[in-house]
Structure formats: structure tokens, C-alpha cells
Structure 1
Amino acid sequence: MAVTRIIALATIMAISHVCGTIAAPQGRILEGENAAAGEFPWVASVRVDNAHVAVGSIISQYHILTSAQGVSELGSTPISSSRVSVRVGSINQFAGGQIVSASSILIHPSFGNFLHNIAIITLAEPLSFTDRIASIAWDTSELNETLADGINVLLAGWGLQLSGASPYRLQKTTLSVLSSHECEYKAGYGYESALCLNHGVNQGIGRGDEGAGVVFNHTLVGVASFFFGAGGTEFPDVSCRTAYYSDWILNNVDPALAYLK
């Protein structure tokens, strides 16, 4: 196992760009489909200096769950919250909906080496929920046996396309869960904290899709973290399993959400 992980990490390091203190893999939702207005009301465009850097999921009126690498200055130290905002309520990353500023950013303290790539953005003002702006519940079960090998999950994001262009419209795709055992065998990432996703060639997540919510049965079960190579390779995409981080999330969001535990 250790040898496999070392090989996998070495492969990523050799072909990734630098973000903060670690190399950040690139990717895109490949061969996706246009999402309809209101189809994913919990999805947010996370923006730094008003440019899209990651996808986020609304988990309360004040909180967005996203990837750490998009808002990291150095390791678990976030960039200034004054530079960060989110666009909600729109499938167009460039227009519509509402822009809300961040008041603070919390990155998981163990973020690094592609693991624990998860962060919470606290908003400066509460969101007003509508049919196009809504929160999504996240998985809190320690062992979710329903997420068996081959189960289909949904993702949506604005990652780069095959052409290298950034889509204005939210793209959606369906991937399938890969068991920890199979993920360890294929990519060396059979960690308890990871939820691996299988896909066909030229499919999967990409640059700009980091932080995208992995959704099963109307529940957030993962946060997209990284993929191998230029995306769409034979290797699975890797996300953070929300159940693994449930206590950390609950300890850092509104006490009113305690009922989810």
C-alpha cells in the first residue's frame, strides 16, 4: 500500500501546478450536460478577487462548504476573507443570482498533500432561501453502507472544458462510487477520509470543479478534491467524505445545525 501511494503521489507531483505549498491537480467536468435553473440550488461559485476558483455547497444560511486549495494562502492559512465572495442562485458563473462577501474562512487544520482538502466559508450576511438558493444536508453517518461500489452520484461545477474554455453555464455529471479497496488498488487512495469516484475516459472533474459537492439521495456525501493528470484518465477522482468530517463541520457552523448529528 505504501509503495502504491508513493507512486500515485509522485505521478501527481510531476504533472500538477503549484497552489500554496503543494502541487494542485487540474481537471474539468468532462462530457457534462447543462444544468437547469434551480436544479442545484445549493451550488455556489466560490470567487477570489471576483474570479471563479472553486465550487461550493450551501450548508446553512451563513456557510459554504468547499475545497481548501481554492482559498488557501499557505497550507491551512486562508487568504484574506476580504478577497473572497460567492455567487449563489445562478447557473451562470458570470451573471445573475446574488454575490455575497465572506466574513471568515476556516481550512481543515490537517490540509496538505491532497488530503483533508476541505474548508468552510462563513458569509458576511445570511442567505435568503428561494427556489434557486437552498441548503443541502450533509452525510453524518460514520459508515454509510449505502455508498457501495458502483452507486451513482451527482456533481455540478464550472470547471474547464476539453477545449480549455471556462463554461458560463453550470455543468452536471454522474460518476460512480469506487470502493476504498479498489481505490487503493488503482490509485493508492483508499483512505478512510476519501471517497473515490470512477468514470469513463475523458470524463470526471477538472480545474475549477474543486469543492464541487458529491450528492447521493439529496445528501452531500463528498467534496471534490483532485484528479490525476489532465483529467479523464484511467485513475479515479478523489473527494473528501463528508461523514468523516461531520464533527469538524458541526463544531464550526451555526449551533442550530446540531440536529443533523
Structure 2
Amino acid sequence: MIQPACILFLLTLPWSQSLSDPYINCSYGAKRINIKEVPWLASVRSENRHICIGTIINTNSILITSTCLTERNKTSVRTHDLATVTVRVGIRDRDSGTGVKVCNVIHHPKDSTYPQDNRLALLKLCKPLIFSAEAREIAIVDKQPQKDAKVSISGWGSLTRWRFPYLNCGELLWQVDDHLIDVKACAAERIEHFKLAKSDRTICLAKKGTICSYDNGAPLVIEGKLAAILYFGSCSNKPDVYVSLFSYRDWIETNSKDKK
């Protein structure tokens, strides 16, 4: 989700300087919040390491971007073994608590096809969650979000795209309030990365400041309902790209049902 561009600070610091230095500001444009304010958040983990954010759809289903389960480097792509994947809910500190095992993953039927906005998946938990003030589901919006809509984005923040352990600025929860921008304007800003056609399956965040947003799956909320999840972010002030969920309501609702 949201993480200030810590790299820029670190490049100017002597290596002997403590990484706890208060001038390494990890709250630019964001505010710290309690899990009770965003109880639908889940930390998705592989081998006990945070890999992305999930959103609680019901007691047995967590919505993610399907790219959460893959990890890329310059030479290869690794798919996380489902046997190592767990989900933590009801926590403010991302690396605290115990995990619930994942027994199955349901990919959107067009996940691997173009365009990229079909990259959704549902994690099916091995045992149902017990809801509380710190952990509960969120409803999906019942209408397509409009340009300029006011939104909130929350999460723990990534460890940067490359997940360097010494750049961890996001162990506690943060939230940013912002607004959406026109998809055509977003496409013009992001054309060097991929082709972005005007589609009701894609929305873009204006992004007020230069903050790092690599924690895929981070939820975008409008008036208390889940509108989108993060698909593509960066450490720049260019718009972040989200998968808009209104068009996927039927697929999410059908596949999140407990089929006992």
C-alpha cells in the first residue's frame, strides 16, 4: 500500500547512522490508524513473510491480486507454494499474531489474459475466521466509482518493490485520504509501463505525494465500502492503478460462498 520513498533518505545517510533516525520519515501524507478502523485488512504471508495485503470478504474468503502469489526478479518468476501461505487478521502490527492456513486459491477465469485488470484471486481459508471488532468483512460498492470520488487507502506498507529488509518502514498501519482521477489521464501518465485502455474495470488514484506503493492488494474504500484493490504502484507521484471491483461483484460473491 503506502510507504514513503525511504530509499531517497537512505541514499543520503552515512551507513553508520541509525536507521531509527527520526528524519527517516515513514509517515509522509499518511496517518497511523488502529486495526479497528480497518478491520477488513489481512496480511497475506508465505513462509511467515508478508507478501501482500488481502481483504476479508467473508469468514472463509480473502480477496487478493493474483500477482500476490508470484515473486519476480531479474531472471525468474517464483510461485509461492500454497502450503506455505497463511493469513493474519485483526492485527495492527503486521508481523504479530498467528496465521490461518490457506487450503485453496480460486483465480479469476481470465486471470492470465490481457488486459491486466482481471488479475484477481480468492484465498479460501482452511478454517473460518471468528469476527470481532478487529476482524470483519467489508461490503463491495454497489455502483461504479466516479472520477474525483474521495477515497481512503490503508495498509502496512511494502518493504519496497525489492523487499530489502533494512527498508522496512511499514510495520504499523497507515491510512491516506485521496481522490480518483480520470482513467485517460492516468493512461497518459502510465503509458511507458503498459497500455491502459479506458475501462470500468480500472480506476486510478491521484496520489498526493511521492510515496512508495508496492503492497499489492491494498484496499481502496469509498464511504465504507470496498471499491478497488491496488494492482500497480511505484515510488513516484504518478497515479497508482487499481482493479475496480464493481464489475467483479458477481464473480466474487459466487466464489466466496462456503461450498460445504
Alignment of 1:79-90 (within 5 A): 79-90=80-91
Task: Work out whether residues 107 and 119 of structure 1, in 8 Å CA contact, stay in contact via their aligned partners in 2.
Answer: yes
How far apart are residue 148 of structure 1 and its match? 2.5
Query: Which position in structure 2 is the counterpart of 1:192?
Result: 200
Structure 2 unmatched ranges of 5 or more: 5-27, 73-77, 161-165
Displacement of 1:51 after TM fit?
A: 0.5
What one-letter code is carried by the residue in structure 1 that aligns with 2:119?
A: N
Moved over 6 A (4+): none
**Aligned position for 2:141:** 139
Q: Give the structure 1 partner of residue 235 of structure 2.
A: 231
Q: Would the alpha carbon gap of residues 73 and 226 (structure 1) be closer, same or farther in structure 2, given more than 3 Å must change?
A: closer
Contact 2:56 2:138 in 1 (8 A): yes
Match of residue 3 from structure 1: none
The higher radius of gyration belongs to 2
In the alignment, is the contact (CA less than 8 A) between 1:118 and 1:223 conserved in 2? no
Which residues of 2 match residues 241-260 of structure 1 at below 5 A?
241-254=244-257
* Residue type at the aligned position of 2:178: L
Tell me if the contact between 2:107 and 2:121 (Cα under 8 Å) persists in the aligned partners.
yes
With the length of structure 2 as denominator, give the TM-score of the two structures: 0.75
User: How far apart are residue 64 of structure 1 and its match?
Assistant: 0.5
Match of 1:201 in 2: 209
Matched, 1:29 2:3: yes
The DSSP-based 3-state class of the residue aligned with 1:181 is helix
Contact persistence 1:206–1:231 (CA under 8 A): yes
Q: Which runs of 5+ in 1 are unaligned?
A: 1-26, 257-261
Q: Secondary structure at the match of 1:115?
A: helix
Instruction: Provide the residue aligned with 1:108 in structure 2.
Output: 108
1:1-261 to structure 2, matched below 5 A, reads 28-30=2-4, 31=28, 32-72=30-70, 79-96=80-97, 98-112=98-112, 114-141=116-143, 144=144, 147-160=145-158, 164-188=167-191, 189=196, 190-203=198-211, 206-207=213-214, 209-227=215-233, 230-233=234-237, 235-254=238-257
Q: May I ask how many residue pairs the two structures share in their alignment?
A: 218
SS at match of 1:104: strand
8 Å contact from structure 2 (residues 3, 169) kept in 1: no
What TM-score results when the alignment is normalised by the length of structure 1? Answer: 0.75
Q: Which amino acid aligns with 1:206?
A: S
Output one character per residue of 1:198-220: Cα deviation in whole Å (capped at 9) or x when no partner. 112313x522x210111001100
Secondary structure in structure 1 of the residue aligned to 2:118: coil
The alpha carbon displacement at 1:110 in A equals 2.5
Question: Any conservation in 2 of the 1:29–1:157 contact (CA below 8 Å)?
Answer: no
Query: Any idea what SS the aligned residue of 1:38 has?
Result: helix
Following superposition, the deviation at residue 78 of structure 1 comes to 6.5
Which segment drifts farther, 163-172 or 58-67?
Answer: 163-172
Q: Distance in 1 between matches of 2:159 and 2:84?
A: 26
Where does residue 12 of structure 1 map in the other structure? none
Quote the Cα distance in structure 2 between the aligned partners of 1:148 and 1:57. 22
User: 1:93 is paired with a residue of what secondary structure?
Assistant: coil
- Rate the CA distance shift 1:148–1:115 in 2: closer, same or farther, 3 A: closer
Quote the sequence identity (%).
24
Counterpart code for 2:167 = G
Per-residue CA shift, 1:9-31, capped at 9, x if unaligned? xxxxxxxxxxxxxxxxxx74332
SS in 1 for 2:252: helix
